[in-house]
Structure 1
Amino acid sequence: MRATLKRKMKKVEIEILNRFDPDAWATYEAIYQSSWKPEEGKPELLRNFARSEGAAGRIRLALAHHKGKAVAAQFWTVDRNTAYIHKLAHLEEHSALSAGTTLSAALFEHVIDIDRVTTIDYGTGNDPYKSDWMEVDRPRYRIDCLDPRQPKAWPSLTKRLFVRLAPIASQS
């Protein structure tokens, strides 16, 4: 990865903002919408979150440009000693540039050297690229508490019952 970064860093220009900038955010949204990422349900919710994090000085919005065109974008926040990676995307037609990797490296360097974070949190998900950067995988667990006396719990309980019965039915 170090060899790739050294070679690829010469091909993109990195911009890291620690304030909300409407034009930079519009560029981020355009890259995200054109990327391989699934469509967001409520982009205005994320925009409002970014705006409030920018006002608080916690946003790290980064863009990678190649020959004047933005080709990758990442949205992080920093709170106390932790950097949180929220969203990242790049344009597939520029994958050969490794702009996303270069952008990640620049943000890692920024939050470690300038913000002095001690933890970087990639959040949930098992995307393969995350293991390239992280030393420790911290599993997350979810507990659902469903009361069978409540009618609104019945669909979820029914689904769980069918999931349990499915292996038994397939063995018959």
Structure 2
Amino acid sequence: MTASYHDRVNVLQGTTASSPFDRADWFALLAASGIAPLVVSAGAGDGAAALALTATNGRIEPLRNWYSFTWRPHGESPAALAEIARSLKSRSHRVTLWPVPDEDGSATRLEQAFRKAGWSVAREACDHNHVLPVGGRSFAEYWQGRPGQMRTTFKRKAKKVAVELFTRFDPGAWAEYEAIYGESWKPEEGNPGLLRRFAEQEGAAGRIRLGIARAEGRAVAAQFWTVEHGTAHIHKLAHREDAKPLSAGTTLSAALFEHVIDIDKVELVDFGTGDDPYKRDWMELDRPRFRIDCLDPRQPRAWPALARRTLGRVA
């Protein structure tokens, strides 16, 4: 078995995707944004695996950006992953992979593959992923389990806000989202053009769930979700700072939760990465995301980082 290298992401077409960030079309968007792909594959059929990577910052890293909730290998073959790990020594002294889940065994498989290939591997939790396993509940049943203060706020404020939900990309609604984001507490959008192209792509496939909340006809809050394979992914939320007293975000979130639970019948709602306190009001499970840092002890360039790692463990 020999690993092969590709500078195009089309080699990932047809591979299994369990989230938006596993699909070849997502990686194509990243490539179009200027991130140079380095896709490494090995094996064939059920014994195949591939990693979507890029060479940057003096090492090999995942092909991802700040919008990505997660990153994982394509394929589960231990032999193929170990061959990829062995081959990567010819490309760099260091491979750092994140944010990798382990509820599906991805982090464990990668850690084992790189160790088997002779890398010095450090694995640590690097982020949080708050999710809601629906467990067959209706929205009404789920809502009864939310904090009393949140339900009271919704009851007092919901009548002041009108909600509109879109299941296809709507240019006017997206313009409202961008305007709201620009007047929100959020930092400047990382790559608004890429995000719009992603939203257009998801809209064409019927996966988008875009919500706009209005007060007296003015758009004051917006949320961008997608739904696929029984999971609702919450990508972006924002509200105008001057409309904060309306709690429009709570009203809009409730409407979207109701839609994905009662109409889309999702099994899981995924709030992405981050440990913001408000996520705990809506979610019920906190899953870790891992960083897997691999150094090749045979390459002198890895020695300073290896020394720092050893000193850190001693300390």
Q: TM-score range by the shorter chain?
A: 0.7 to 0.9
**What letter is aligned with 1:112?**
I
Which blocks of at least 5 consecutive residues in structure 2 are unaligned? 1-149
Among 87, 90, 97, the alignment partner of 2:236 is 87
Question: Aligned to 2:254, which of 99, 105, 117?
Answer: 105
Q: Note the C-alpha offset of 1:154.
A: 7.9
Q: Compute the displacement of 1:150 (Å).
A: 7.6
After superposition, residues 20-99 of structure 1 pair within 5 angstroms as 20-99=169-248
- 1:141 is aligned, of 259, 282, 290, to 290
**Which structure has more helix as a fraction of its residues?**
1
Q: Which runs of 5+ in 1 are unaligned?
A: none
* AA matched with 1:26: A
CA distance in 2, matches of 1:150, 1:75: 46
Distance apart, 1:144 and its partner CA: 2.2
Q: What amino acid is the match of 1:58?
A: R
Deviations for 1:53-102, whole angstroms, at most 9, x for unmatched residues?
00000000000000010000000000021000000010111111000111
Compute the RMSD of aligned alpha carbons: 2.2
Aligned-residue sequence identity (percent) comes to 67
- Cα deviation 1:105-135 (Å, max 9, x = unaligned): 1100000001000100001101111001011
2:141 aligned partner: none
The alignment partner of 1:37 has SS state of coil
Q: What's the secondary structure of 2:181's corresponding residue?
A: helix
Number of residue pairs the alignment of both structures matches: 164
In structure 2, C-alpha distance between the alignment counterparts of 1:56 and 1:150, rounded to whole Å: 49
| Aligned twin of 2:21 | none
Amino acid of the structure 2 residue aligned with 1:37:
K
User: SS of the residue aligned with 2:289?
Assistant: coil
Offset of 1:147 from its aligned partner?
3.3
Residue 17 of structure 1 pairs with residue 166 of structure 2 = yes
The amino acid that maps onto 2:194 is: L
SS across alignment from 2:168: coil
Q: Equivalent residue of 2:295, what SS? A: coil
Which secondary structure does the structure 2 equivalent of 1:45 belong to?
helix
1:131 paired with 2:280, answer yes
Give the equivalent residue in structure 2 for 1:161: 308
From the CA coordinates, give the structure whose radius of gyration is larger. Answer: 2
The letter for the 2-side match of 1:161 is: R
- With normalisation by structure 2, the TM-score equals 0.49
Shift of 1:146: 3.3
**Which secondary structure state, in structure 1, belongs to the residue aligned with residue 273 of structure 2?**
coil
Which residue identity is paired with 2:281? D
SS at match of 2:294: coil
70-79 or 37-46, which moves further after superposition?
37-46
Amino acid at match of 2:294: C
Question: CA distance change for structure 1 residues 23 and 150 in 2, over 3 Å: closer, same or farther?
Answer: farther
Paired residue secondary structure (2:185) = coil
**CA 150–53 in structure 1, closer or farther in 2 if over 3 Å, else same:** farther
Q: Deviations over 1:14-65 (max 9, x none)?
A: 0110000111111101111211111122111110000000000000000000
